[in-house]
Amino acid sequence: MALNGRTIAIRGNVECVEDVLIEGRIDGHIWNENHVVTVGADAIVKGDIVARVITVRGEVEGTMMATGRVDIMNEARVTGRVVTQRFMLAEGGTFSGKVEPQHLDTAMKVARHRRAESQDTGARAEAPPATPVR
């Protein structure tokens, strides 16, 4: 899946079930737990990313959680928190934040719980109001 084009802008959360390439702007969280998220060189993401592997070539501001690894490439600019067991910062890449490999399991449990809660809340908000039975 690809969110191609520098002019694409999304406000809200993105959930994927396959590898994704982002080339536009996303103001919201990206959930792609068992797959790869690649942030292209011209892309901007302001929100959290949860994936198996995260590769950043553009700009990310938020928390990145990866069960596999996070790669910040030489042209990337990242501000925030990285929670993963494997982290790579290429020469020339910019990173301002914290790397917390020891918190991966706990952070993933919390992220899954928050996601489930928000899905429950969203489903309740979309449901039509109940009609009282007389």
Q: What is the pLDDT of residue 119?
A: 73
Q: What is the pLDDT of residue 4?
A: 60
The β-bridge partners of 10 are: 26
Cα–Cα distance, 38 to 57 (Å, whole number) = 8
Phi and psi angles of residue 105, each rounded to the nearest 5 degrees, phi first:
-60, -45
The two counts, helices (H) then strands (E), for the chain are 1, 12
- Domain spans in the chain, listed from the N-terminal domain onward: 2-118
- Provide the residue-wise pLDDT of the chain in tens; the chain has 134 residues: 666 667 788 898 888 889 999 999 999 999 998 999 999 999 999 999 999 999 999 999 999 999 999 999 999 999 999 999 999 999 999 999 999 988 888 888 888 888 888 777 655 444 444 434 44
pTM score of the predicted model: 0.82
Cα–Cα distance, 16 to 39 (Å, whole number) = 14
- The total number of residues written for the chain in this structure: 134
